[in-house]
Structure 1
């Protein structure tokens, strides 16, 4: 199932620097019309898994671990260049039902992304029957950290970038003045019964962020609660970990965001 992803004016669980780095690529993709279709993105991900299976079988392995790459922004639907969480869920369920798969490694390099769809993927990972390892050699932040929390073990390469960033934000852009400058004024008329329709954004446009702050507060409370539950055996709250701080691999190990430091080969060796 494929749908539309939105990054502007939507709640995000993402590192701000990572978000800003994505925008030029997304704009360029639209300009050059070189985005992959959802079907091609899914086919590419499945092709990588098939290559792993073929390689393992060529060496005579009856069972073998599978690596699923989770890189770039976390999006709900496969689009642009990225595999969506909905398709990841389908892939993981098939792997979980495959008797030749001994374990699953989530190879993560992401600064986060959309709130929508993330908790569902985390729940799916947590309830897989196969053993799982979340590994990063780069970034494992925000929505990506949420996803990693569902795995049985979390590992990071000693040279990985950043881990953590537990929290949510809104990146809000008001284009109305730009459209008016172009001679396209925007008119919004609401039915008298629709006093609550789009109220969060209308309040935000008028300079009052309280309603949206409350929405983000509730989303973040859900995020934190899930992290506390999933990491309860290792988490050592330093007073900052649940407030959006990011950590180096050694620091992440000390606060319990990860269980081990090692290479992808070390992770594969566990299976």
Structure 2
């Protein structure tokens, strides 16, 4: 199985900042303790969870049954750390869509967002499935996770869910050159005369000019908002803040049309 490498630092993110700050200690601890799962183990764990659901349903005599796919933690393109990547989610969902006994799919989401890369592809895959889908959250369903949820047939939230929305993008860039120079390192960057556009955005940022990166984020966010407006066209009630990155509790999210219903995950499963 081929897996790529996530670049979660210095890359455009569709993520709620509070959620991003909350996961950083876990990622740092994982690096220190070297206890991250391999990509293969992460995917194997997801498959075993679905197989267990199918086995339990069949033991109860069900000819058809819904399944739950857990989408938790930061949204990443490739499976790594402890988290299932969007590329592997796509593969799993396509297989479930072809399964004759699967009556529907609940996307059990608890994520404040993550990488822009790979998210739109997963959203499009969900939207194109022949099986009905429900995006459900009892925690966070923000930014990239909200993008993913928009592709589902409907969206539900627990009355005790944390935050929903945060439709927008951001970028956090780290430049460690001053630290290295303090340690006595001399850093040289030399570009070929033909390579005038190479790393131009970052070089402009180092010079104090954010406009190049802001333009990149503007284009990405315009695409994000356009996709959300299309996918939620039948429910959205824009309060003039929903597409500016505001987050909502469950009742407020229902009022602006980010979700269709408040209930339990059992309520969601009973719809199939």
What is the TM-score when the length of structure 2 is the normalising length? 0.99
Any residues of structure 2 matched to 1:2-151 within 5 Å, and which?
2-151=3-152
Q: Does 1:268 align with 2:269?
A: yes
In the aligned structure 1, how far is the partner of 2:187 from the partner of 2:24?
25
Question: Which SS does the other structure have where 1:170 is aligned?
Answer: coil
Partner of residue 199, structure 1: 200
Distance (whole Å) between structure 1 residues aligned to residue 187 and residue 20 of structure 2: 28
* 1:92-143 residue CA offsets vs partner (Å, 9 max, x unmatched): 0000000010000000000000000000000000000000000000000000
**Which moves more between the two structures, 209-218 or 1-10?**
1-10
Alignment of 1:149-168 (within 5 A): 149-168=150-169
> Cα offset for 1:158?
0.4
Query: Please, which runs of 5 or more residues in structure 2 have no aligned partner?
Result: none
SS in 1 for 2:108: strand
Stretch deviating more after TM superposition (22-31 or 163-172) = 22-31
Whole-angstrom CA distance in 1 between matches of 2:249 and 2:129: 28
- Taking the aligned partners of 1:22 and 1:248, their CA distance within structure 2 comes to 21
**3-state SS of paired residue (2:141):** strand
Secondary structure of 1:82 counterpart: coil
CA distance in 2, matches of 1:38, 1:224: 31
Task: State the match for 1:249 in structure 2.
Answer: 250
State how 1:231-250 maps to structure 2 within 5 Å.
Answer: 231-250=232-251
Deviation of residue 182 (structure 1)? 2.3
Per the alignment, residue 189 of structure 1 pairs with: 190
Question: Following the alignment from structure 2 to structure 1, what is the Cα–Cα distance between the partners of residues 45 and 179?
Answer: 39
RMSD: 0.7
Distance in 1 (alpha carbons) for counterparts of 2:182 and 2:20: 27
Structure 1 residue 184 displacement after superposition:
2.6
SS of 1:113's equivalent in the other structure is: strand
Match of 1:219 in 2: 220
Q: What's the counterpart of residue 172 of structure 1?
A: 173
SS at match of 1:169: coil
Task: Give 5+ residue unaligned stretches, structure 1.
Answer: none
Which deviations, in whole Å up to 9, do the C-alpha atoms of 1:40-59 show, x marking residues without a partner? 00000000000000000000
SS, match of residue 189 in structure 1: coil
Say how many residue pairs are matched.
Answer: 271
Q: Give the TM-score of the pair, scaled to structure 1.
A: 0.99
